[in-house]
Chain A
Amino acid sequence: MSANSYSIRRFTPERSALGKLLARDSIVRRMDWVLLFASLALCGIGTLLVYSATRGRTSLTHGDQYYFLIRHLMNAGIGVGLAIGVVAIGHRRMRGVVPFFYALSILGILAVLSPLGSTVNGAHSWIIIGGGFSLQPSEFVKIAIILGMAMVLSARVDAGDREHPDHRTVLQALGLAALPILIIMLMPDLGSVMVLAAIILGVLLASGASNRWVFGLIAAGIGGAIAVWQLGILDKYQIDRFAAFANPALDPAGVGYNTSQARIAIGSGGLLGKGLFHGSQTTGQFVPEQQTDFVFSVAGEELGFVGAALIIGLIGVILWRACAIARSATDLYGTIVAAGIVAWFAFQSFENIGMTLGIMPVAGIPLPFVSYGGSSMFANCMAIGLLQSVRMQRPMSA
């Protein structure tokens, strides 16, 4: 059946513009609309939540209550443009520019370490552009690592040389990932490092690399954490900050305050929430960083369990579609790219929401599509573009 339809398409004569658009192999027909709408819905909810969290924060908005609302929408718009660009190029064709993209992102994070970079909330991971805009190059490193590793790992398999990537290939891929991770560790941006680790795990899983590599990597991660803990590499205050999500008393003025206020905000929302713009924790500005890392607490308070669960559900939809795309990709390259994105979004969402709910340590990473932040939004949209591209370049019958 699949071979048939494939062959028919090949010999289809010229068609009209509308016919082209609606044709079986057109972009419109091949696009994953569920994935598109889920991510746009998250953007929309995020816009409202960001607005609710910031409309009263005059110190941040410079008196313009729509400051963040407008910027969040602009970011989303630019993001959609980037996604369209990615789809237009196509992930396969992007193989050619991956080394360039990789090098650019490395340069970006190196620039952050240079005097060009700025420290925001303890993480030295920003480049202030001016005019209220700033770049966080580590967001783009996520895409660079996914694409770079996917290219290395899939090259010989997709060429038909091997069934699975060999040890040397895996080592090359890991080496590719290790360089930016080391640079980001120096910032230090622990949150991004954790997300990158999750991405590497997802990529290795999907690449079919031998179990030894997968388990070895997990063991190395755990061993490294224990070593850091035992050898006293971290100061006590760093450990306290890390553990404060479970016991806010360890860092009552810092992370502990954040987590306990966020938890109060979410808990007090109840089933249906206090209504958009009516949360006392939000209007009273009790939760710091509420438009970025703690944006989920606005949803919990004002939209209640129903609204907060909807956000988790939409993320679930995106991940479900991404998994489907990974499974149905026509080549290992597409599979790895999609699986890497699944690992990225899944871990980043879990870590972000988990820290506001008090089950994960606090790390400064945004909630995809919902949190305010340009670089994050751009990277997320490019990822959606990659997923769409992977989906479009497979046979329709699959």
Chain B
Amino acid sequence: MSNIPETGRTSRVTIRLVILQILVVSLLLTLGGRLWFLQIRNGQEYDEKAANNHIQQVVSPAVRGAILDDRGVPLADNETKLVVSASRTDLLKQADDGAAVLDRLAGVLGMQPEEVKDKVRLCDAKTPRPCWNGSPYQPIPITDEATTQQALQIMERREDFPGITAEPTAVRRYPEPSKANTAQVLGYLSPVTDEELTASEKTDNPYQRSDQIGRSGLESVYDKELRGQAGVTRYEVDNLGRVIGKAGDTPAQPGANLVTSIDSRVQALTEKELAQAMADARKTYDTITHKNYKADSGAAVVLDNRTGQVIAMASAPTYDPNEWVGGISAKEYKALNDVKSNYPLLNRATQGQSAPGSTFKVVSTSAAVNAGYDINGGYPCTSSMTIGNQVFKNFENESFGSISLGRALEVSCDTVFYGIAYDQWQKDGGTSPKHPKDWFYKTAHQFGLGAKTGIDLPGEVTGRIPDRQWKQSYYDANKDYWCKIKKTSKKHDLATDIARENCTDGNVLRAGDSVNYAIGQGDTLVTPIQMARIYAALGNGGTLYQPTIGKAIVSADGKTVTPIKPKVVGKLPDSKSTLKYIDKATAGVVTDGTANWKFAGWPQDKITLHAKTGTAEVSGKQTTSWLTTYTKDYTIVMTISQAGTGSGASGTAVRRIYEAMYGIEKDGPKIDPSKGIMPKPVTSLPKISDDGTVVKASYDTAAYDKAYDKSAYDTAYDPAANVPADSAVAAPRSGTSGGPGPVVAALTPTRTEELLHGRKSWS
């Protein structure tokens, strides 16, 4: 009895109880530690997870800004449509998940019940379109073409249509003022992709699933400014997605308006005249191919010389941008990207490239003068010239005797430029060059060729200056192919022979290459905007601008105006006297030269018109016509594929545009500026009042000068001024430094075979 203590416990039991107590304490400490780990150490992470769990966002889209022309006429704006939408959250609260409501809705809208139900189902891997790929908390649009009557029926019978709304909503519209289509310049919108959504997540203005974004043209380049910021209402939801509270509300910020330098009237006219010129060309008989001209595509550009701003830009063939509104069908999309339609989505003013033909001769003249050839010297303009065993003919075998460089420009004498180019080629060492000066190639780069102009449109192409560097890279890329033909083929046709020759020395700049190049033929490729910029520079005293279409960003309430300043990117490498000389010669083209026959009666004494014609040969096709013209105010460039000569195809069309702009009587000398669309360049910005309506621009020069930084002009017109360092991106040949003027942009030899008018002109 004595060995059992009063407490009824032995020492073994006592020890066991201590063990039990230690176990208990360690269990509790484990819980405490784990609790600390979850709540204190990783609390932040779980906090975010909890927020994602229970916060759902409903997005109210921002109204997209308008694209206005220089007077404030909308080229792209929004129209109010009655959009009927269904809220899934509300539908699912119905006993039958909203099936009856949707049936009734289909009845009111005159749609099939199945059609309506398909639109509100959520997209997943197994669901075919149509389906909703947005947030399930977002109202799902059923139609944007409801009539007022239908909307009233829905809104007045709220109890019959729970979760259905009919609200006026802004939908993109391209009103085509004055019938100005402007399709390729404006671009179009299409729904955001998954990749874009993901990529934009980390930005300060992420895309929303239901967003439409600019895919092309100004809609794409200025998308950020135009689209505004979507409003977001944050709802707290429970595990079944039922809304249990509101967590925040950010109202939508409408997008800013883009004022462009496009004038809808000039644009409409330019489009009309381009189309007319092409139609006329198709009625014209081509004596070389013994068929009418095909005139399958074309482009025209009107620039403001003083700023490099684009007043009109037309590209043919074209399309209706309104096709994209509300989603384009697969069939329509295929048609727009088809060889049959000849790719109307391409903007041929910036994405089409072809050989410039004789319009290139202003570059060659500049090169010759800078290489030391006397501008007034006598150069033989024979009907042909033989180099080695090749005969290089003058156009239509003309000959003019011994003439100056200026006259050679006027009459577009090829043999004068052949001679100088051949001379230079020999001086540079011929087929075994030693420290070549390459004046003709260097000058072309200084004129901004072979590089993008930097215009505010997407997808611009560079064109191509076929210099030694390009020759080498092209040879490196094709050598194996050519040499394989040389080894295997026994044929003796032209293509095989050329391949054989190229395999041997395709990387060497041959005399023929240089000579052809000097008259804008051979492997040379330019875009219409590049040529327009060059001629605008000739018109403004030598300043190369980065062409722009956007003129200013104006906030939706009209209060904040951000001008897009014209940017000087280079100067022509010519002295004032050379420019004056070229001015005179190009004016002579109109009065005594190749364009003369199309400009009879033109008031040259009042409005001096300068021009250069070009007829570029394309292997296997009819010739490409070029007409480049400028006055002191404007530059107009028109090019048409497979349309013959520049003056013949486009002379009349370009004249009509000038006539309308200046108010010149048709085919006559009388001028009435009051009848002109734009007798002087538009200088002021349209004003947008705070309710968003546009006050049209006046022709007030002072306001314009205030809106733009005047120093840009001063720099531009001062020949001594240095061009900003950033414009000289990379000198193509650093060994040949010391040439006059800056290098405009890097030489980028391109192997792009998508040439002007969407086909090859080089083979």
B-binding residues in A (CB < 8 A): 2, 56, 154, 157-158, 160, 163-164, 202, 205-208, 261, 263-271, 280-281, 283-286, 300-301, 304-305, 308-309, 312, 315-316, 319, 323, 326-335, 339, 342-343, 346-347, 349-350, 353-354, 357-359, 394-395, 398
Q: Given A269-B39, A270-B43, does the pair A264, B8 have CB atoms closer than 8 Å?
A: no
- Against A, the Cβ 8 Å flags (1 = close, 0 = not) of B729-747 are 0000000000000000000
Contact, CB under 8 Å: B30 / A350: yes
Residue of B nearest to A343 (CB): B20
Contact, CB under 8 Å: B9 / A327: yes
Contact, CB under 8 Å: A281 / B28: no
Contact, CB under 8 Å: B35 / A312: yes
Residue of B nearest to A301 (CB): B50
What would 25 A/B residue contacts be, using CB atoms closer than 8 Å? A154-B8, A164-B12, A206-B20, A207-B13, A208-B12, A263-B38, A267-B47, A271-B43, A280-B236, A284-B236, A284-B237, A284-B244, A285-B239, A300-B39, A305-B35, A312-B35, A315-B28, A323-B20, A327-B14, A332-B13, A333-B8, A335-B7, A343-B20, A357-B34, A398-B6
- Against A, the Cβ 8 Å flags (1 = close, 0 = not) of B646-658 are 0000000000000
Interface centre among B27, B236, B237 (most CB of A within 10 A): B27
Contact, CB under 8 Å: A268 / B47: yes
Contact, CB under 8 Å: A331 / B20: no
Tell me which residues across on chain B come within 8 A of A308, comparing CB atoms: 35, 39
Contact, CB under 8 Å: B27 / A350: yes
Q: What separation, in Å, do the CA atoms of A309 and B33 have in the docked complex?
A: 10
Closest 5 CB pairs of A and B: A267-B46, A268-B50, A331-B8, A284-B238, A270-B43
Contact, CB under 8 Å: B40 / A270: yes
Q: What separation, in Å, do the CA atoms of A319 and B30 have in the docked complex?
A: 15
Q: Which of B3, B23, B25, B53 contacts A281 (CB 8 A)?
A: B53
Q: Given A329-B9, A332-B9, does the pair A267, B238 have CB atoms closer than 8 Å?
A: no
B576 within 8 A of A: no
Q: What separation, in Å, do the CA atoms of A267 and B14 have in the docked complex?
A: 40
Tell me which residues across on chain A come within 8 A of B45, comparing CB atoms: 267
Q: Given A271-B43, A316-B28, does the pair A332, B8 have CB atoms closer than 8 Å?
A: yes
Tell me which residues across on chain A come within 8 A of B126, comparing CB atoms: none
Distance to closest chain A CB from B69 (angstroms): 51
Q: What separation, in Å, do the CA atoms of A319 and B25 have in the docked complex?
A: 9
Q: Which of A202, A280, A398 contacts B7 (CB 8 A)?
A: A398
Tell me which residues across on chain B come within 8 A of A205, comparing CB atoms: 16-17, 19-20
Residue of A nearest to B19 (CB): A205
Q: What separation, in Å, do the CA atoms of A395 and B54 have in the docked complex?
A: 58
Contact, CB under 8 Å: A286 / B47: no
Contact, CB under 8 Å: A267 / B7: no
B492 within 8 A of A: no
B36 within 8 A of A: yes
Contact, CB under 8 Å: A264 / B34: no
Contact, CB under 8 Å: B17 / A327: yes
Q: Which of B9, B12, B49, B238 contacts A268 (CB 8 A)?
A: B49
B1 within 8 A of A: yes
Tell me which residues across on chain B come within 8 A of A339, comparing CB atoms: 16-17, 20
A-binding residues in B (CB < 8 A): 1, 3-4, 6-10, 12-14, 16-17, 19-21, 23-25, 27-28, 30-32, 34-36, 38-40, 42-43, 45-47, 49-51, 53-54, 236-240, 244
Q: Given A206-B16, A271-B43, A339-B17, does the pair A164, B10 have CB atoms closer than 8 Å?
A: yes
Residue of B nearest to A288 (CB): B239
Q: Which of A267, A335, A395 contacts B17 (CB 8 A)?
A: A335
Tell me which residues across on chain B come within 8 A of A280, comparing CB atoms: 50-51, 53-54, 236
Contact, CB under 8 Å: A264 / B31: no
Q: What separation, in Å, do the CA atoms of A347 and B20 have in the docked complex?
A: 11
Q: Which of A283, A286, A305, A347 contacts B39 (CB 8 A)?
A: A305
Distance to closest chain B CB from A346 (angstroms): 5
Residue of B nearest to A326 (CB): B17
Q: Which of A268, A281, A394, A395 contacts B43 (CB 8 A)?
A: A268
Tell me which residues across on chain B come within 8 A of A261, comparing CB atoms: 53
Tell me which residues across on chain A come within 8 A of B10, comparing CB atoms: 163-164, 208
Q: Given A284-B236, A357-B38, does the pair A160, B4 have CB atoms closer than 8 Å?
A: yes
Q: Given A284-B239, A350-B27, does the pair A309, B9 have CB atoms closer than 8 Å?
A: no
Residue of A nearest to B46 (CB): A267
Given A160-B4, A263-B46, A280-B53, 8 extra CB contacts under 8 A: A163-B10, A206-B13, A267-B47, A268-B49, A283-B236, A309-B35, A327-B7, A334-B8
Distance to closest chain A CB from B654 (angstroms): 69
Distance to closest chain A CB from B571 (angstroms): 64
Residue of A nearest to B38 (CB): A267
Q: Given A266-B46, A284-B238, A342-B24, does the pair A304, B16 have CB atoms closer than 8 Å?
A: no
Q: What separation, in Å, do the CA atoms of A329 and B19 have in the docked complex?
A: 17
Tell me which residues across on chain A come within 8 A of B50, comparing CB atoms: 264-265, 267-268, 280-281, 301
Tell me which residues across on chain B come within 8 A of A342, comparing CB atoms: 20-21, 24
Q: What separation, in Å, do the CA atoms of A169 and B420 have in the docked complex?
A: 124
Tell me which residues across on chain A come within 8 A of B31, comparing CB atoms: 312, 349-350, 353-354, 357
Distance to closest chain A CB from B564 (angstroms): 47
Tell me which residues across on chain B come within 8 A of A286, comparing CB atoms: 53-54, 238-239
Contact, CB under 8 Å: B54 / A281: yes
Residue of A nearest to B245 (CB): A283
Q: What separation, in Å, do the CA atoms of A266 and B46 have in the docked complex?
A: 8
Tell me which residues across on chain B come within 8 A of A316, comparing CB atoms: 24-25, 28
Distance to closest chain A CB from B648 (angstroms): 75
Contact, CB under 8 Å: A304 / B39: yes
Tell me which residues across on chain B come within 8 A of A359, comparing CB atoms: 30, 34
Contact, CB under 8 Å: A283 / B16: no
Distance to closest chain A CB from B608 (angstroms): 76
Contact, CB under 8 Å: A395 / B6: yes
Q: Given A312-B32, A339-B17, does the pair A284, B39 have CB atoms closer than 8 Å?
A: no
Tell me which residues across on chain A come within 8 A of B244, comparing CB atoms: 56, 283-284
Q: What separation, in Å, do the CA atoms of A160 and B7 have in the docked complex?
A: 12
Tell me which residues across on chain B come within 8 A of A2, comparing CB atoms: 6
Q: What separation, in Å, do the CA atoms of A333 and B240 have in the docked complex?
A: 53
Distance to closest chain B CB from A173 (angstroms): 15
